[in-house]
């Protein structure tokens, strides 16, 4: 049975938390899911996967280098299966600042252009501000950025802004796309041969 690949890039762990939530929702739906950090993958068998969800956090207006490298190196294989991308950042919280909103979207589209991976869907989630996990310098920088943005500046506690209902909706849309390809569509991509294989529509979820 094919599985779902969830690959992530993170600096302080919040993107992993979102990835794990997505995996939990995917497993509840009947699929198996592997959650892997792009930095730790040494080899991967793409034929084992029916779809991919990739996500990374924005650090200084871009995603971690190892994450971009992994996606770029495997863009062709990733493009053969239903894919969804989520970006994690704090700028998206500035809902009335159109300039920042545009910048956050541009980070995503620049990433797609750089890597040549163009997933079927993407979204931006508000992340977290875990002051307790930062070193002294990062804490000062994040405090200053938060102050300027009118966000939380009490460095004695951590903040989490992710809308978990949005995470559930994003996952549900992704699963619909995967199920469409693997359960309802008469054909599917076969990565091992590069051919389109005919698939019986009555094949149950677990046997895909
Ligand atoms: C050093 C640093 C740089 C950051 N740069 C940006 C940025 O350029 N734009 C933004 O919207 N958020 C930025 N953030 C916020 C992170 O994207 C946010 O905290 C996210 O939840 C981090 O997720 P992670 O724990 O998976 O790395 C930055 C955070 C840190 C600590």
188 alpha-carbon distance from chain centroid? 23
pLDDT at 183: 77
Q: Is residue 12 part of a domain?
A: yes
pLDDT at 44: 93
Q: Is residue 156 part of a domain?
A: no
pLDDT at 193: 34
- The CATH number of the domain where 174 resides is what? 3.40.50.360
Q: Could you tell me if the CB of 12 is within 6 A of ligand 1?
A: yes
Question: What is the tally of structural domains in the chain?
Answer: 1
Q: Which residue, 66, 12, 14, 63, is CA-closest to 42?
A: 66
Tell me the C-alpha distance between 119 and 87, whole Å: 13
Q: Is residue 69 part of a domain?
A: yes
Q: Is residue 186 part of a domain?
A: yes
pLDDT at 200: 25
pLDDT at 185: 56
Q: Which residue, 125, 118, 114, 126, is CA-closest to 86?
A: 125
**Residue 54 CB burial class (10 angstroms; 0-12, 13-18, ≥19):** buried
Q: Could you tell me if the CB of 60 is within 6 A of ligand 1?
A: yes
Q: Is residue 27 part of a domain?
A: yes
Which residue has a Cα nearest atom 29 of ligand 1?
Answer: 59
Q: Could you tell me if the CB of 14 is within 6 A of ligand 1?
A: yes
Q: Is residue 23 part of a domain?
A: yes
Q: Is residue 203 part of a domain?
A: yes
Q: Could you tell me if the CB of 146 is within 6 A of ligand 1?
A: no
pLDDT at 201: 24
Q: Could you tell me if the CB of 127 is within 6 A of ligand 1?
A: yes
- What is the per-residue pLDDT across 7-42, written as a single tens digit (0 to 9) for each? 999 999 999 999 999 999 999 999 999 999 999 998
What domain range is 44 assigned to? 3-127+162-207
Q: Is residue 132 part of a domain?
A: no
Between the two ends of the chain, the Cα-to-Cα distance in Å is 5
pLDDT tens by residue, the chain, 208 residues: 899 999 999 999 999 999 999 999 999 999 999 999 999 998 899 999 999 999 999 999 999 999 999 999 999 999 999 999 999 999 999 999 999 999 999 999 999 999 999 999 999 999 999 999 999 999 999 999 888 888 888 999 999 999 999 999 999 999 999 999 987 654 444 433 333 222 222 223 333 2
């Amino acid at each position: 049975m094919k599985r779902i690949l969830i690959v992530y890039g993170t600096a302080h762990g919040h993107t992993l938390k979102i990835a794990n939530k997505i995996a939990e929702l995917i497993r509840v739906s009947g699929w198996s899911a592997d959650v892997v950090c792009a930095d730790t993958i040494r080899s991967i068998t793409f034929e084992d996967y029916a779809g991919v969800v990739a996500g990374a956090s924005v650090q200084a207006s871009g995603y971690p280098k190892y994450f971009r490298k992994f996606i770029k190196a495997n863009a062709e294989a990733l493009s053969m299966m239903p894919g969804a991308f989520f970006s994690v950042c704090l700028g998206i919280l500035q809902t009335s600042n159109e300039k920042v909103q545009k910048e956050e979207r541009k980070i995503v589209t620049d990433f797609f252009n750089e890597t040549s991976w163009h997933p079927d869907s993407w979204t931006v989630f508000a992340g977290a501000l875990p002051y307790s996990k930062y070193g002294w310098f990062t804490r000062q920088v994040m405090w200053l950025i938060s102050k300027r943005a009118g966000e939380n500046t009490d460095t004695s506690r951590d903040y989490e802004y992710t809308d978990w209902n949005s995470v559930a909706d994003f996952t549900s849309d992704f699963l619909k796309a995967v199920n469409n390809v693997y359960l309802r569509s008469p054909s599917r991509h076969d990565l091992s041969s590069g051919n389109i294989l005919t698939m019986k529509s009555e094949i149950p979820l677990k046997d895909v």
